[in-house]
Amino acid sequence: MNSNLLKHTAYVFFSNCEFYCWNSLSAIGYASIKKVHQPSQYLFAAIPLLFAVQQFAEGILWIVLPNESIIKLKKIAASVFIIIAQIVWPVWVSLSIQ
């Protein structure tokens, strides 16, 4: 199998996985928010929505990764992914379980 075809297949497969996860997690997050009874539960219930945003950014990254002409979008998607992973997650989870 041609290595370029294999790379392209991997990019398509992983981007589809990320968008499937984004879609599923968005629905789960929406359902979680609807079940909240106390304001203190909102941050915890919104965890799937935060993860959905991260998955969407990763899906965009998988699409633009092989394309060198879309550098700005690649930087934005990577920045969103890293900021959520390294900054937002630790703060969000610690606040949501207090």
Mean pLDDT, residues 3-14 taken together: 65
Say what the pLDDT of residue 8 is: 60
Q: Are 85 and 59 in contact (CB under 8 A)?
A: no
Q: Which residue blocks in 1-98 are alpha helix, DSSP H?
A: 3-34, 42-45, 47-64, 71-83, 89-96
**Helix H or strand E encompassing 38:** none
Say what the pLDDT of residue 68 is: 81
pLDDT tens, position by position, 11-66: 667 777 787 788 899 999 999 999 999 999 999 999 999 999 999 998 888 888 88
Mean pLDDT, residues 67-76 taken together: 88
- 1 pLDDT above the threshold of 60: no
Give the pLDDT band of residue 4 (cuts 50, 70, 90).
low
Mean pLDDT, residues 64-86 taken together: 91
Global pTM value:
0.80
